[in-house]
Structure 1
């Protein structure tokens, strides 16, 4: 029978304990913390949910965070992470316990005070991370129902970013920065080509996915093969799109502080030309 050694009861439903290997774990279950003292044991069957926080700094941050939550809110926010883990079907970066719990706590409080924060990357997030967005819809609905709030659609986008962050081990701040860059690039394209792109169209989804993958390649330092025969053709046949592609790349270079290979301009030109042709 698996047992854990209790280190501290954070409240009636949450314990900090250690397993047989000395790893610190967070144990969650209705009433499991009631009357419990440091040094006592608890069996696995009494625990509803369990997770490990390996990083000492993350452990401390999480302890401080959940000590400020009422028990109902804490239970709901822990359930949110559990829904994500079950639906994703793959390991999550442990930082989601802190990052998403913290985000949802403040989002719920803002709603109760009538404060709504606009999400400028909602359409892009929905298009770039459709699987994460679908999970975020379910999480938001659960939080709204359980805590009697009405988190807006923009929050679904923020939650989807947290989910993607936990799945690919990327900082939410970097994902937001990259989303902001994509929005800037799309605005430049619309202004330079004097068009308005339908944000629900498959062409828009293809464009921003191309921009996202280009940004990821640049960040990783990946080099893609340059189709030399096409380069000269594009310069001559589609000079407006080719020049615009280079303007976009210079903005990407400035934002990412990374070298960008010429092949990126070639593939970007093809995307721009396809969009321009459909708008004519």
Structure 2
């Protein structure tokens, strides 16, 4: 594929016009712009990554973001997406622009000595374990290229961008799911009187169930098998707790949670309580 160079960002990236359809693109790859000049038409190999500048993102127009972030942040975001591709296969690379924008702000915060805290970091690390692992590659990149230390809270936010690149959810939806899961776990602790350790198997099972329960509520999906009658007779206390939790979650999400979810949540509460009693 041939591209006419419109603007060189650095040795590894340029803005170009695709020869075939006159589309504006961001082209990224090792040394792709090295020794090149504006106006020159260059072939781009399959190893290079090409991003359309027609994209509209959560944070605005891709072309506007490109003007406001440093080329290095684009490179960092591109590398995170390369790592995500190795881990997950195909990823939505349009997330590059919002991720680069976030990284640009994060780097400025770190350079200004501003610390952010994210009360959901532990939940994100467990809920999106593989995404967090991929996002962690940013630590080494920032240390090597800019001598900057990035903390776990910032990595948690990058993990949400990675998650958005592999599923049909944007970053704010992923954050909402993490926040709602945390709220639900707090309600479970209140109902059962038991502290739920985020590193425990019980948390992992419960968290995964709640995560998909919230996603089903957001997307209007329903479970098929109804456990309510069985759970309400066999385990009435966990069932009543699950019912109260589901009603509270409806208020928080401002979305209906189908009654069929109660039995499944009750089953997880009973399993968790049974594990605690037997340990």
1:32-91 Cα offsets, whole Å, 9 max, x none, are 2877334x422225x973313263545983333333344545434433333333443213
Q: Tell me how far 1:250 sits from its aligned partner.
A: 1.3
Against the structure 1 CA distance between its residues 57 and 133, is the aligned structure 2 distance closer, same or farther, given a 3 Å change threshold?
closer
Structure 2 counterparts to residues 47-62 of structure 1, below 5 A: 49-53=48-52, 55-57=54-56, 61-62=61-62
Corresponding position of 2:156: 157
1:36 pairs with 2:37: yes
1:9 pairs with 2:10: no
Corresponding position of 2:92: 92
1:213 pairs with 2:216: no
Corresponding position of 2:262: 265
Any stretches of 5+ residues in structure 2 without a counterpart? none
Corresponding position of 2:23: 23
Corresponding position of 1:68: 68
Against the structure 1 CA distance between its residues 10 and 68, is the aligned structure 2 distance closer, same or farther, given a 3 Å change threshold?
farther
Cα distance in structure 1, aligned partners of 2:79 and 2:19? 22
Cα distance in structure 1, aligned partners of 2:156 and 2:203? 18
When the two chains are superposed, the root-mean-square deviation of aligned CA atoms in Å is: 2.7
Corresponding position of 1:244: 241
User: Which is worse superposed, 67-76 or 168-177?
Assistant: 67-76
- Preserved CA contact (<8 Å) 1:121 1:179: yes
1:181 pairs with 2:180: yes
Cα distance in structure 2, aligned partners of 1:208 and 1:255? 17
- Preserved CA contact (<8 Å) 1:238 1:273: yes
Any stretches of 5+ residues in structure 1 without a counterpart? none
Equivalenced residue count is 273
- Preserved CA contact (<8 Å) 1:80 1:143: no
Cα distance in structure 1, aligned partners of 2:73 and 2:256? 46
- Preserved CA contact (<8 Å) 1:12 1:34: no
Q: Tell me how far 1:131 sits from its aligned partner.
A: 1.7
TM-score between the two structures when normalised by the length of structure 1: 0.85
- Preserved CA contact (<8 Å) 1:84 1:139: no
1:135 pairs with 2:139: no
Corresponding position of 2:197: 198
Cα distance in structure 2, aligned partners of 1:225 and 1:60? 39
